[in-house]
Amino acid sequence: MLIQPFHSKGTPGTEAIVVVFDLEGFSRFFAQPDVHLYAPDYLNVVFNAVQSIWSIERPYWLTEELDQPIFRADLREPTFAKFMGDGGFYIWTAPDPLETITEGFKLSLLQMLWALKRRFWVVTKHARDVVPVPRLPERIRFGVTRGTVYGLRRAGIEEPVDYVGFAINLAARLQSYCREIGFVASARLMVQHAQKAAWHRVTATSIKGFTAEDVYVDFDEFNELDPKVRKSLFAEIAAAE
């Protein structure tokens, strides 16, 4: 089977929020005997958990035990979604080209992604009910950013069949930047009311193929890093005088 050629003219660049996620240990999971019989059921559990973030109903994995209240407003389905083998990515564009993505949406999405990362053990426990193998991925990692994306079209098809752009590449790099940290969101999202007790703003200094990037990371995971790892990957941001 061949990849069909793209139309020479794609969509104009548009502002977007991009989320890339990865399942840590998915390769080890897939190395178990006959796991291909159960992989679809496992992936369904994971994708249902991720996609419940923008569901009307409260996700089963979200309880009141988290340290921070979760703000769920303005959430909506993504413009584009794609399975990536051991994870996936999602793109949200503004509802109208003349509009911008709201502060409420950005904050809600980040809070819910952070909450799912913290509560992923509940998803793993749920998966054990349908996946009879001993080793399941224990952690999920999210990379999130904001930027311009461009849709790729095919002849006769108006809607984009895929997307390219700086923001997609950066989100993928952030997801894998520091394996000990499961939530890395670019400060390009310009979230004015970031959860100061839950997230820590630092500079990621060594992103492969990119310049330094200010990011929000999970506060507890950042503090638990080996000091040598922290120094090699991050720099503190000086407080404004």
111-170 pLDDT per residue, tens: 999 999 999 999 999 999 888 887 888 899 999 999 999 999 998 888 899 999 999 999
Q: How confident is the model at residue 241 (pLDDT cuts 50, 70, 90)?
A: very low
* Overall average pLDDT of the 187-199 stretch: 78
Q: Is the pTM of this model over 0.75?
A: yes
The CATH number of the domain where 98 resides is what?
3.30.70.1230
pLDDT of 196 > 80? The answer is: no
Q: Quote the CA–CA distance of 101 and 131 in Å, as a whole number.
A: 38
In a domain, 3, yes or no: no
pLDDT at site 90: 98
- When mean pLDDT is compared over 11-15, 62-66, 194-198, the highest value belongs to 11-15
Please enumerate in sequence order all residues whose Cβ is within 8 A of that of 55, keeping only pairs 6 or more positions apart, or say none: none
Residue 22 lies inside a defined structural domain of this protein = yes
Give residue 65's domain range: 14-236
Number of structural domains in the chain:
1
In this prediction, residue 25 carries a pLDDT of 83
**How far apart, in whole angstroms, are the C-alpha atoms of residue 25 and residue 187?**
28
Residue 9 located in a structural domain: no
Cβ distance 239 to 200 under 8 Å? no
Mean pLDDT across the chain: 88
Q: With cut-offs at 50, 70 and 90, classify the pLDDT of residue 6.
A: confident
Do the domain assignments include residue 7? no
Structural domain contains residue 2: no
